[in-house]
Amino acid sequence: MADPALVIFDCDGVLVDSEPLSLAVLSRAIAETGLTMSDDEVRAAFMGPTLDQIEAGVAQRLAASGRALPDGWLERFLADRAEAFAAELLPVPGAREAVEGVRRARLDACVASQGRIAKTQMTLALTGLTDLFADDRLFSSTMVARGKPAPDLFLHAARGCGQPPERCVVVEDTVAGVRAARSAGMRVLGYAGTHGAAALAAEAAEPFGDMRDVPALVGGMRVAQT
C-alpha cells in the first residue's frame, strides 16, 4: 500500500460524542409514535442509516400495524436532537489532538459523515472543532448515490481531496463505516467506541481505543514503508 496522504474522519462517534444523545432522542421520538422498541433495538436498526432511511424504517414498522407516521415527525426529531446537542454535546476525548497530530505529520484530513453537512457543521461548532476543517473538507452521504456501507462517500471524499483510495486512511467507529472504507480500498482504523473492538476487527479494521493514538497509528505505516 502507498504511503498515506489523507486521513478521513467519520464525525459522529469519532469526532463528536453524539451517538448516546441521538439514540436517546430517537428512542423517545419512536416511542411517541406508539411503537415499542428497546434502546438496543433502536440502536441496531437506526444508528448509522441516513435520515431518509430512519424515517422510512419507522414508517414501515408503523404501517405493519396499520398506522401512519405522524406528519412532521422527522422535523420534530431533528429539532429535539438539535436542542439536546446544544445542551450536552461534547467532543470525543482526544479528537482535536488526533486531527492536529495528523496535520503536524503533513497529512491532509477531512470529514466524511453519513449526516448532512449542516449537522456536521453544527456538531463541530458546538464542540469547538470547527477550526480543524475547511468547508471543502466536509463531505456527506447526501452528496453521493449511496451512503455507508457502500464505498461511494469515501471515494467521493478522496476525489474531493485529490487523493487515490490507496493513499487514504479512514477512522471509523461503526461496522457500516468500516465496510464502506474497505469496499473503497482504504485502510481503516476502528475506534472502539460504538461497536467495540471485536466487531470492528471482524470487518478487517485495526481497532484502537484512544483517539490520541491516531497520528502514531497512521504514522506507523509511513515509518514502516520508508
Cβ neighbours, 10 Å, residue 224: 8
- Which is catalytic among the residues 12, 108, 131, 152? 12
User: Is 12 an active-site residue?
Assistant: yes
User: Is 3 an active-site residue?
Assistant: no
Distance CA 37, CA 29 (A): 11
Cell 476487527 belongs to which residue?
201
Label residues 13-36 b or e (16+ Cβ within 10 Å = b).
bbbbbbbebbbbbbbebbeebebe
Alpha-carbon distance values, 66 to 18, 23, 34 (Å): 33, 25, 12
Cell of 160: 474531493
Distance CA 6, CA 38 (A): 39
User: What is the separation of C-alpha 132 from the centre of its chain, rounded to a whole number of angstroms?
Assistant: 16
Query: Considering Cα of 85, then 90, then 95, then 100, what sign does the dihedral take?
Result: positive
Distance CA 14, CA 60 (A): 30
- 115 phi and psi angles, rounded to 5 deg: -75, 170
Active-site residue list: 10, 12
